[in-house]
Amino acid sequence: MGTALVAGRQFTEHEQLLDLPVVMVNQRLKQLYSPNEDPIGRRLLVGNHPFEIIGIVANVRGTGGSITNVGPEVYWTSEGEGVTQRYFVVRSKIPPEQLIKVIQEQVHAVDPQQGIGKISTMEDLISEAVAQPWLNMALMASFSSVALLLACIGIYGVVAYSVTQRTQEIGVRMALGATRRNVSVLFIRHAMVPALVGLGAGTCIALVLTKLLRSQLYGVTPDDPFIYLAAITLLIVPVFLAILWPTKRATTVNPAEVLAAE
Each residue's pLDDT tens digit, 128-141:
877 887 888 899 88
pLDDT-derived band at 54, boundaries 50, 70, 90: very high
The predicted-structure confidence for 83-109, as pLDDT tens digits, reads as follows 667 778 888 888 887 888 888 888 889
Q: Are residues 76 and 130 in the same domain?
A: no
Residue 1 predicted with pLDDT over 90: no
Length of the chain as a residue count: 262
Question: SS3 for 25?
Answer: strand
Distance between CA 180 and CA 171 in Å, rounded?
11
| Mean predicted confidence (pLDDT) in 102-126 | 84
pLDDT (0 to 100) of residue 259: 60
248 and 154 fall within a common domain: yes
The CA distance from 160 to 189, in Å, is 14
Task: Please check whether residue 98 lies inside any domain of the structure.
Answer: no
Q: Which residues pair with 66 in a beta bridge?
A: 69
65 pLDDT above the threshold of 50: no
CA distance 45 to 26: 16
DSSP H helical segments within 166-224, as ranges?
167-175, 180-208, 210-214
Selected residue with higher pLDDT from 13 and 85? 13
Question: How is residue 61 annotated by DSSP?
Answer: T
Positive or negative, the Cα torsion across 10, 16, 21, 26? positive
Residue 55 reports pLDDT greater than 90: yes
Residue 26 resides in a domain:
yes
Establish if 48 belongs to a structural domain.
Answer: yes
Q: Is the pLDDT of residue 17 over 90?
A: no
Do 256 and 139 lie in a common domain? yes
Q: Are residues 72 and 171 in the same domain?
A: no
Q: Are residues 130 and 237 in the same domain?
A: yes
| End residue of a domain, out of 30, 61, 86 | 86
Least confident of 15-24, 208-217, 232-241: 208-217
Domain check: are 257 and 140 in the same one? yes
User: Is 128 found in the same domain as 82?
Assistant: no
In a domain, 115, yes or no: no
- The pTM of this model reads 0.57
In terms of Cα–Cα distance, which of 106, 134, 104, 132 is closest to 119?
104
Residue 64's pLDDT band (boundaries 50, 70, 90)?
very low
Whole-angstrom Cα distance, residue 82 to residue 205?
49
How many domains does the chain fold into? 2
Q: Domain of 15? A: 5-86
Residue 112 in any domain: the answer is no
**Residues whose CB is less than 8 angstroms from the CB of residue 30 and which lie 6 or more positions away in sequence, other chains included:** 39, 56
Q: Are residues 167 and 77 in the same domain?
A: no
**Do 132 and 248 belong together in one domain?**
yes
Question: Could you tell me the pLDDT band of residue 253, with boundaries at 50, 70 and 90?
Answer: low
Identify each DSSP E strand in 5-115 by its residue range. 5-8, 22-26, 43-46, 49-57, 74-75
> What is residue 9's predicted lDDT score, i.e. its pLDDT?
92
Establish if 169 belongs to a structural domain.
Answer: yes
Stretch 5-29: mean pLDDT? 88
Asked if residue 135 and residue 50 are part of one domain, the reply reads no
Mean per-residue pLDDT of the chain: 81
Are 194 and 71 in a shared domain? no
